[in-house]
Amino acid sequence: MPGFVENRILYAILRECLDLVDRGIVDAAGLDTNVRWAIGYKLGRDRPDGAARHGRPRHLQGRRHLPQPELSTKGEVSSTILDLIDKGRLGMKTGGGLYDYTPSRSTSCARARVAKLIAVRRRSRRSVRGNRKETR
């Protein structure tokens, strides 16, 4: 079940991110900065429950509904992605996508991603085990 939930959330965020690039509102580097720093912080540093632990952000206090600007509901593939596919830029495996990748950068990025995934999964397992003990 966690994979299903994660993918639903991931694809909603991905769709919105690519829509912003498609419309020229932000470039890939600006998007990368926002996803790494702004979104993570607003989710509560590194965990979604962090916002609850640290109090509601000041700009949301007293509101019953989160502000929602026009969000993308596109069902088709992003034009940015289609252009990259047409150019043969399929990501690290082809040496480029939104970014250019040397073989050494591809290897280091892949290793870093795997290490982060393993760390997150380990934390998640510990959290689930802790919750099971509390409910017994």
Output phi, psi for 57, to 5 deg. Answer: -55, 145
Give the whole-angstrom CA distance, residue 58 versus residue 63: 10
**pLDDT by residue (tens digit) across 68-126?**
667 788 888 899 999 999 999 998 889 988 889 899 998 998 899 899 888 888 887 77
Query: Considering the domain boundaries, does residue 123 fall inside one?
Result: no
Provide the mean pLDDT of the chain: 77
Query: Considering the domain boundaries, does residue 31 fall inside one?
Result: yes
Query: Considering the domain boundaries, does residue 46 fall inside one?
Result: yes
The pLDDT value recorded for residue 127 is 67
**pLDDT by residue (tens digit) across 22-78?**
999 999 889 888 887 777 666 654 444 444 444 545 554 555 555 566 778 888 889
CA 42 to each of CA 69, 101, 108, 111, 136: distance values in angstroms, whole numbers, following the listed order:
16, 30, 28, 27, 33
7-29 mean pLDDT: 89
What is the residue range of 39's domain?
1-59
Query: Considering the domain boundaries, does residue 33 fall inside one?
Result: yes
